[in-house]
């Protein structure tokens, strides 16, 4: 049965069974891809690298906090010494 040039092609409507089976097959495929790393050591490697990255970040933030606190201590000591020197200068005059 040739296609009439005025109407174009007519495609059969898929059955609900075929649509459901295709959706189910796709879902199972994605589940298998998600579970494969669990069955291999690649998941363990991913977790270890993430832990190493978070530990590095934590060390950096701890180091920054220590530097900031040391800077605060230095500025307070500097302020104390400068006020002491100022008072000595005033006493000398």
Q: What is the dihedral of CA 68, 73, 79, 85, to 10 degrees?
A: -140
The pLDDT profile of the chain, 93 residues, written as one tens digit per residue, is: 566 666 677 778 889 999 999 999 999 999 999 888 777 777 788 888 889 999 999 998 888 888 877 776 666 666 666 777 777 777 776
Look up the pTM and report it. Answer: 0.37
Q: State the pLDDT at residue 32.
A: 93
Q: What is the 3-state secondary structure (H, E, C) of the chain?
A: CCCCCCCCCCCCCCCHHHHHHHHHHHHHHHHHHHHHHHHCCHHHHHHHHHHHHHHHHHHHHHHHHHHHHHHHHHHHHHHHHHHHHHHHHHHHC
Does residue 37 contact residue 43 with C-beta atoms inside 8 Å?
yes
């Amino acid at each position: 049965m040739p296609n009439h040039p005025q109407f174009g092609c007519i495609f059969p409507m898929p059955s609900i069974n075929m649509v459901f089976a295709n959706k189910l097959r796709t879902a199972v495929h994605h589940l298998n891809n998600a579970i494969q790393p669990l069955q291999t050591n690649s998941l363990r490697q991913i977790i270890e690298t993430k832990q190493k990255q978070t530990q590095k970040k934590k060390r950096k933030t701890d180091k920054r906090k220590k530097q900031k606190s040391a800077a605060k201590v230095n500025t307070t000591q500097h302020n104390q010494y400068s006020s002491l020197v100022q008072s000595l200068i005033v006493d000398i005059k």
